[in-house]
Amino acid sequence: MQINDKSGVLEYKASEQRYDNMKYNRTGKSGVLLPAISLGLWHNFGFIDSIQNGREILRCAFDLGITHFDLANNYGPPYGSAEENFGTILKQDFKNYRDELFIATKAGYDMWPGPYGNLGSRKYLISSLDQSLKRMNLDYVDIFYHHRPDPNTPLEETMGALADIVRQGKALYVGISNYEPAETQKAATILKELNVPFILHQARYSMFDRWIENGLLDTLEDNGVGCIAFSPLAQGMLTDKYLGGIPEGSRAAKNMSYLNSDTVNSNIEKIQKLNDIAQERGQKLSQMAVAWILRQPQVASVLLGASSANQLKENLKALDNLEFSSEELKMIDGIVG
């Protein structure tokens, strides 16, 4: 929603109906409720992208009840640019709504040169968050994640840094991402001893990538920690984009590191069969893929990227049908193996 202020400049005023239709889920045993669909800023918000388009996506998201925006230090490209653009938009449009937002950032992957710009040392995590807060013009984030396990840094050091970040008031909650079940359990034990609110594990999850069913969901349940799923559409495979093959200019056609033509070609028959089920349900394949993840009680939210406001609106229609029959689930399991 947009209005003109006294100077005639177009400014943003959030929709008064923004909370009417969104579904909110409790995050583990915490007091935090997250929208069933959250907005990820991994793509489409860097300096190579249109900041005006990003602004329209963020406005649309909030007007539809999406209160959770997920970033990381190295989102862009270039690194840091998604946070900087987000900070610019936040200042323009959302400064009056800060307390209605749940903002996340992370550190763990390569960010700057030298021995202190990667993985899980105390030096890296605290320095990185300080930089992120400066880029976003924020005093604190709502949750700060360690983005991936560090095999060479003691977990006590990494979790201790997260604890101190909370005590310093730079984050309200902490989370981890991409940790295996045993690592997650150890992290949870350390953080509980430190009396730190560990509320979320961010994990890759889709119908084509079900690794978190190897015990991670049970570990999260046992520790009162919620799950937020990323890559729910398997980098675009679980959409209508590849139903007829690999279109020119697509991620698979470019053989990106996270999706290549061989992967798509080996799954096209499965994609087509899953699409048939989605159509029977009155959904697009992407909408069914999101709904399928949300059936898991441990999953508080699904992270979706968006290249346009209209794409985001289409994916939000997943919430119109979240129920699956046992027969549908058996059919899906039979297709994806």
Spell out, as residue ranges, where the chain has pLDDT lower than 70. 1-9
Q: What is the pLDDT of residue 1?
A: 57
- Number of separate domains in the chain: 1
Query: Is 242 within 8 Å of 252 (Cβ atoms)?
Result: yes
- 23 phi/psi in degrees, rounded to 5: -95, 135
The residue with tokens 């209005």 is: 3
Query: Is 162 within 8 Å of 131 (Cβ atoms)?
Result: no
Give the Cα separation of 64 and 80 in Å (integer): 27
Q: What is the pLDDT of residue 89?
A: 98
State if pTM tops 0.75: yes
Q: Which two tokens stand for residue 260?
A: 């290549």
The residue with tokens 């919430």 is: 319
Q: What is the pLDDT of residue 250?
A: 80
What 3-state class would DSSP assign to 66?
coil
Q: What is the pLDDT of residue 12?
A: 96
Among candidate residues 177, 189, 117, the one with its CA nearest the CA of residue 145:
177
DSSP string, 11-44: EE---TTTTSS--EEE-TTSS-EEESEEEE-SSS
- 173 phi/psi in degrees, rounded to 5: -135, 165
Domain that holds residue 220: 2-336
CA distances from 293 to 82, 129, 288, 333 (A): 26, 30, 9, 13
Q: How far is CA 189 from the centre of its chain?
A: 24
The residue with tokens 């919620």 is: 226
Q: Which two tokens stand for residue 76?
A: 């862009």
Give the Cα separation of 68 and 89 in Å (integer): 15
Give the Cα separation of 249 and 332 in Å (integer): 29
Query: Is 158 within 8 Å of 150 (Cβ atoms)?
Result: yes
DSSP string, 264-276: HHHHHHHHHHHHH
Beta-carbon neighbour count of residue 10 at 10 Å? 8
Q: Which two tokens stand for residue 62?
A: 């909030």
Q: What is the pLDDT of residue 30?
A: 98
CATH number at residue 13: 3.20.20.100
The residue with tokens 């990820």 is: 40
Residue 319 CB-half CA count within 13 A: 19
